[in-house]
Structure formats: structure tokens, C-alpha cells
A and B are shown apart, each in its own frame.
Chain A
Amino acid sequence: MKVVKPALPSPDKRWKIVDAKMRRFGYQGHALIETLHAVQQSFGYLDEEALRFVVKALHVPPSRVYGVATFYNFFTLKPQGVHTCVVCLGTACYVKGAERVLAAIERAAGIKSGETTPDNQLSLLTVRCIGACAIAPAVVYDGNVSGKQTAEQAVEKLKGYLHNAA
């Protein structure tokens, strides 16, 4: 069967990365999750334009694409803030007081887990377990893991973020 390749949504170079990923899988439907990873890595989130492009390129029903995109925690349909702060809520972190750390961050940033500050500087997220249990509680600031966090340390770190952004 000849593969009909849809045109890239825009000249934005990032679409080429997404397209390359799909090509590696021969534009087959089972590349869906890998493709969504590539979109999110390139654009930060999955918007409607991207989802529609993936639907066409992989010949997967739109409802299945949406179903997959919303099944997995890792995918987000909303743009994220400039900085991200991910609090691990695994068991070891929980036993060592991660909930207190999260509560302090929520108070300081004025947002709840899963939200982004109105100035779009910080997104606060939680995660099931990042496997940094020996140095619990762990918080991931902009992709970098910090272990043995206290509420005070976390809030201090965040101040830096919000201050720098202002």
C-alpha cells in the first residue's frame, strides 16, 4: 500500500522532527504514542492542530487519538508555564512528608497542583513516583531532580523562579 503523506501543518521546523518519528514507524497506527511523545517534546503540549495532523498522518480515528492522549498522565492538552515544578508523591516521599512540601508550594505560588500561574511562569505538577525514593522527598525543578526537600527549600527555590521571571 502506498503511504499518502499529509502536508506538514506549517513550515515550523519542529514538525519535521515529528514527521521523522512517524516515518521511522512507516506511518503505522502503532506509532501513535511515540508520535505524541515527539509532538509534546517539540511543542510542549498537544493542541488540536497537532492531534488532527497525527490523525491524518497515521490514519488513526480522531476519537482514538484523543482517547490515547487523555489516558496517559504524561500528555497534556494545555500549554505549560515557562518553568515546571513536579512534586513526587510516591510512597517513600509520602512517608517523608511530600504532602507538606506540596502544600507549601501551593500556598507560595497561589496555584493548585495541575495549574499554571496566571503570568504563565510556573506550572505545578505531581507525579506518582520518579524512583528517587532513597533521597525522598524529591521535587523536579525544570527537569532537574532535587532530593531531601523541605517545605522551606522548595519555596525558596520557587521564589527564584518567580522572581527571575518578573
Chain B
Amino acid sequence: MLLEELIGIAEKQREVRKQICVRCCMSAGCMSSQSAEVKTALEKAVAERQMGDLIEVRRVGCMGLCGPGPLVSVEPNSLLYEHVTPENAGSIIDALTSAGPIKAERCDPQHPFFTRQTLVVRANGGRIDPERIEDYIEAGGYRALHHVLTEMQPPQAIEAIIKSGLRGRGGAGYPTGLKWATVAKSVGKQKFVVCNGDEGDPGAFMDRSVLESDPHSVIEGMAIAGYAIGADQGFIYVRAEYPLAISRLQVAIRQAKQHGLIGSAIFESTFNFNVDIRIGAGAFVCGEETALMASIEGKRGQPRPRPPFPAESGLWGFPTLINNVETFANIAPIINRGPEWYAGFGTEKSKGTKVFALTGKIQNTGLIEVPMGITIREIVEELGGGAPEGAKLKAVQTGGPSGGCIPAEHFDASIDYESLTQLGSIMGSGGMVVMDDQTNMVEVARFYMQFCMEESCGKCVPCRAGTVQMYHLLAKIAARQATMKDLELLEELCDLVKNTSLCGLGQTAPNPVLSTLRYFRNEYLELLQPAG
């Protein structure tokens, strides 16, 4: 593959485009509400009305607003329809030619849910067909890889990522460029690039959506990383619960290979890079990097102490770079548009944009991509449209089982790594579950502790035995059988498990308890028995 061929593919794509493009979301969310049937109905309607020369029906990835799916959009008319059914899909085509009334529900594309977003990672979501590499190339795909391979030395590529200020989007927020620099410096006769797609936090589906909607962006990001650190093999670890993401990745890898965009001598350079998929098997702890590597090696997904860090000794003992899906998806845009452009979004210490999964008791549920530094209130009230009728919002949970609940009085807090940590939660991978006043916070803490207890790998004592005891104490409190002494013991246990556990799962398992105790202590106290 040469640059001319790449440009050729993009131009040919533009030539065969039809005047009107009807896009039908074929992401897992919409597909569960019959979007495949909707697409068939749309195609049938176009064929019956003999509009095939004018109108193209395209399968696209996630448009973001998953709640009222299936979604269908029409370009260039900027029309958006929600709750589309196979029965009323034909009327969308009729309306385009004024042949009949629209029976499908209109959705306002000028709603703040859409207009307040800044799309970097999700720019191709809802626009390109994720199963056609030509669509990705037309949207500028693989140009960043070409640029890096032909115009940049590896240290320059790393420098660009450092300058962009990008921090790991998997939760911990470690500066991505620094991580790359460390692995690049490590000595090893082989190195690996690993993409963490084990999106285990319940309430989070950003990575699923990226993999389903724009798989090539992740592959391109990994290849650029491989060049920068000197690796020729990449692994994408995806959870088995995401079958559609896995199959789209398989298609994407096959197409990239066929086009010579991964494999040997990419863009006729000396750089070789291959990508393989490894499928998880249902273990939350495998999101932890050392456990994930154990799992790729075919072992029980148990973490091991760090150091040594994967950057020095990772997969099979070789230096390994691990970043998550969203982090890799940010790479190509940063190269294409420059680190300064990327660093222009966000706050001083948290640059760029972040994708959040907005769910729970809120009007608009789905995926949003917003600049860092936006407030929780803006997300919840403007993009999210506030509480459903009659409900009063109480808290937002971020960071999944490792995070915490942020109460309504702190909704004006800015969303960045530091301020969320200060509030007793974490950025996490981007799950944002909105809770209303019907939600009991002791129950929420119990729910998360049950999760951590069942997902504890069992290796270290504080997490294995401590989460069980914390769960029992929370259940006892919820059943109104506990006393102040039990609450004190619970707090002691939280302190123990947080400070002595081996890995992040254990160290953060007490967070949902600690944050609900911090902001909703009364709910605990109300349930206690008088000391006797």
C-alpha cells in the first residue's frame, strides 16, 4: 500500500456516493430493538420506489443516543428519527420524495445532547460503516499511520503524544506519552502492544461502542504505538460479553491485512505489525493489567505484584505497552490534527475529551463525548435532559465498583481526574449512572460490594476475605440488625482492604462504601440498632 493508493480508495468512495445517505445504527443497543430489520425495510423501500440511484442505505455504528433506538439519520438533510420500526421505516424514504407522510418519530439533532458534544474518538460513530475499511479510509483513516511511518522517528511520535497531554482512559489516568517512552526505553528482543478491551465496569460501554463503530481507529492507534515503542505484535483483549465487537474487530483486522495496512513492510517501510484478538472469559479482575496479561498467556487471571511493571516485564517477560481502547482511538486524531489541537480541549491537567456512558434515572441515556472540565451538572441537566418526570436526582455514580457516588450538591464540580478523586470517586473508564431519591445508598454500597466479593480473584487475603466480611456487614446494616460497633468495624475493614490489597480491584473495592458513608452517612445511621 502506498499513500496514492490510500487516496485513490478515498476518492473512489466519494465518486460512488449517492446524493442521499440514510444511516441506520447497527450497534448492539439498537440491534436489540430490531435495527437489522429496520435496515432491511429501508433497503426494501428504496428498491420498491426505484430510488437506488439517489439513495444509499448504510449500516453505521453507534450514534450515541441509545435509549430511544433504533436511530436512523438522513444526510445531507440532517434528519434524525428515533424508535424506528420495520413498519414505519418505509415512510422515511417516502418523506424524502414527498411521496407520503412521515410515520417515524422525529428526534431533534439540535438537542444539547448532540450539540454540546465534542467528537474526537466518536467522530466516525454513526457515520461510517464499521465493516468497510473503505469508509474508514474515506474519513481520513490510516493517514496518521502513514504520516508517522514516513515523516516521524519513533521518539517524535512519542513526543507528540506527550505534548497532547493524553492520559490513560482506562481509569487511572497515567500520562500515555510517558508510558510509551518507558516501554520504548526498555530493552527486550521482543515487545508487545496490548489493547485493554476488558470493559468490566458495570454501567460502562464506551469501549464496546468504539470497537463496534470504528474498529480501525483502534488498530491504527495500536500500529502507531507499535512503531513508537518498537513492537511488531499487538493483542486486543476483548470481553466475551461483546460478541458484535469481536466479530467487527475480526473483520477489520482481516481487511487491514488485505490492504497491507498491518502485516509486513507497512507503507513500504521496514515496519511490521500484526494484531491478534484474545477473548476474555468473564472475569472483572482481568481489566487489571497484570491479570490481563496472565489471561492472554492462558492462565488464571490473577494479578501479580508490581514492580516489575509491564513496561519492563510484561507478556512472557517482554516489555509490554498496555493502553485501553479509548486511549488508542485518540492516537490517530492527535497525529492528524496535532498535539496542540488536542491539548486545546480540557483543563490544565486533564486534556482532551472523554467518552461517558450516561445511564440510570435520566431522560437521555447513551454515549456522550465531552471536553474534560465540563461540570456534572451540564452533563446531567443539559445533555442528559435531567431526571425523568417526577423524580429528584440524588447522586451520580462514576468509576463503577472502584468509584464512588457524587451527591447532587457537588454537581457543579468539574470533570477531571483530580477533582473526581477529591470528591472520593474516580474518573474510571467513563460509566456514569444517575440515581434518584428512590435509590437507597446502603443498598448501592451492598450491590457494589457483592460485585467485588464475587469478582475477587482470591489471591490476597484482604480482598478475598475482607470483601466477604464487608458484604456481610452491609447486609446486616441493610437488614436493620447492625449496631454502631458493626459500622465502626466496617470502616476499619475499608481502611484495611484499601491499604493492604495486592491490586487495584481490592484497593478500590471499599470506595463505594467510603463515598456513600461520606455523603449519605445518615442513611446508614437510620438503619442502625441502638447499642445494647
Question: A residues within 8 Å of B by Cβ?
Answer: 29-34, 36-37, 60, 64, 67-68, 71-75, 89-96, 127-136, 138, 144-147
Contact = CB atoms under 8 A, between A and B. Distances in A.
A68 B283 contact: no
Given A30-B298, A91-B203, A92-B202, A135 B69 contact: yes
29 contacts: A36-B281, A37-B240, A37-B279, A37-B281, A68-B299, A71-B301, A72-B301, A92-B433, A95-B360, A95-B439, A128-B200, A128-B202, A128-B451, A128-B455, A129-B204, A130-B241, A132-B28, A132-B32, A133-B202, A133-B203, A133-B205, A133-B357, A134-B29, A134-B67, A134-B69, A134-B365, A135-B67, A135-B365, A136-B360
B61 interface: no
A135 B28 CA distance: 10
Contacts of B282: 72-75, 127-128
A60 to B, nearest CB: 8
A138 B208 contact: no
Nearest to B286: A72
Given A34-B278, A72-B301, A95 B295 contact: no
A59 to B, nearest CB: 12
Nearest to A140: B32
Contacts of A93: 202
B241 A129 contact: yes
Contacts of A147: 29, 32-33
Interface of B: 28-29, 31-33, 66-67, 69, 199-205, 208, 240-242, 278-284, 295-301, 357-361, 365-367, 397, 400, 431, 433-435, 439, 447-448, 451, 455, 457
A50 to B, nearest CB: 15
Given A73-B281, A74-B282, A92-B433, A131 B200 contact: no
Contact of B300 (A29, A68, A90, A128): A68
**Chain B CB within 10 A, most for which of A60, A67, A75, A130:** A130
A88 B300 CA distance: 24
Nearest to A146: B32
A125 to B, nearest CB: 11
B28 A71 contact: no
B295 A33 contact: yes
A95 B240 contact: no
A67 B458 CA distance: 12
B278 A133 contact: no
A162 B235 CA distance: 42
Contact of B204 (A74, A131, A136): A131
Contact of B203 (A68, A72, A90): A90
Contacts of B201: 129
A131 B199 contact: yes
B198 to A, nearest CB: 11
A127 B455 CA distance: 12
Contact of B241 (A89, A94, A131, A133): A131
A134 B451 contact: no
Contacts of A129: 200-205, 241
A33 B433 contact: no
A144 B32 contact: yes
B297 A91 contact: no
A131 B296 contact: no
Given A127-B241, A131-B204, A95 B301 contact: no
B300 A92 contact: no
**Chain B CB within 10 A, most for which of A29, A74, A133:** A133
**Chain A CB within 10 A, most for which of B28, B361, B400:** B28
A95 to B, nearest CB: 5
Contact of B366 (A31, A67, A134): A134
